[in-house]
A and B are shown apart, each in its own frame.
Chain A
Amino acid sequence: ETGVTQSPTHLIKTRGQQVTLRCSSQSGHNTVSWYQQALGQGPQFIFQYYREEENGRGNFPPRFSGLQFPNYSSELNVNALELDDSALYLCASSPGGGRGRTNTEAFFGQGTRLTVV
């Protein structure tokens, strides 16, 4: 079991609403990455936060935004929800800002299952 905790585990939202997902990072890790995993697909990189700054972004629209706090926990916010946003949202914490071998020390949380109706 990893030290990465995501909340909530499941939620249902209506199209057009806004949602905030939370992730607490592993102790000693200063980097959090967020991924979207649609049903039957591999995870897709949304963005990464390193020491409270965005440190890379995937091909997602601006209505996907995030924050990282001084304790390195993180939030993913999605505005104007669309049906296609229904997915498992995974966060991963790692040391070192995503450089070098840091993914070898990354841990994933259990994910938040978001359903948009």
Chain B
Amino acid sequence: GEDVEQSLFLSVREGDSSVINCTYTDSSSTYLYWYKQEPGAGLQLLTYIFSNMDMKQDQRLTVLLNKKDKHLSLRIADTQTGDSAIYFCAESPDNQGGKLIFGQGTELSVKP
């Protein structure tokens, strides 16, 4: 079946690291994605990882992928108040023509 799961809330202090976790079900997904949604806005693609990689770093963002456990995480270093938003992980099974399957979203709250 199709199911992407995330914890719903995360609260951190400004300057700390944030780690948002996600589990997915379809091992055929070639790419896995992290999106950011600010209040009242659409989705912004933050980063993605190719399924044969274990890690991808992009400035303050680090994505870790454990394909065996179907576990994906997003680490945000030096978290800022502007990082407060909802973060969605998503998979795109190869046999489903580009359909994105999203988790429920993790609301990140960054306190000064």
CB-CB nearest in chain A for B102: A42
Contact of A108 among B4, B30, B42, B48 (CB under 8 A): B42
Chain A: minimal CB distance from B50 (Å): 8
The answer to the question of A111 belonging to the interface, with a C-beta cut-off of 8 Å to chain B, is yes
A61 to chain B, nearest CB (A): 17
B98 x A56 contact (CB < 8 A): yes
A71 on interface, CB distance cutoff 8 Å: no
Residue from the list A4, A92, A100, A106 in contact with B30, Cβ < 8 A: A100
How many chain B residues have a CB neighbour from A under 8 Å? Answer: 23
Q: Are A110 and B41 in contact (CB under 8 A)?
A: yes
> Is there a chain B Cβ closer than 8 Å to A98's Cβ?
yes
Question: Are B45 and A104 in contact, CB atoms less than 8 angstroms apart?
Answer: yes
A residues within 8 A CB of B53? none
Give, as a whole number of angstroms, the nearest-CB distance from B104 to chain A.
5
Whether B84 sits at the interface, judged by CB under 8 Å, is no
* A108 and B31 contact, CB distance less than 8 A: no
User: Which residues 80-106 in B have Cβ within 8 Å of A in the complex?
Assistant: 88, 90, 92, 96-105
CA distance A102 to B105 in the complex (A): 22
Among the listed B44, B45, B97, B103, which residue makes an inter-chain contact with A99, where contact means beta carbons less than 8 Å apart?
Answer: B97
Q: Does A68 lie at the interface of the complex (its beta carbon under 8 Å from any beta carbon of B)?
A: no
By beta carbon, the residue of chain A nearest B97 is A56
**A100 CA / B95 CA spacing, docked (Å):** 10
* Docked-complex contact A98 and B30, CB < 8 angstroms: no
Among residues 82 to 117 in chain A, which have CB atoms less than 8 Å away from a CB atom of chain B? 90, 92, 94, 97-104, 106-111
Interface set of B (CB-CB < 8 Å, partner A): 4, 30-31, 33, 41-45, 48, 88, 90, 92, 96-105
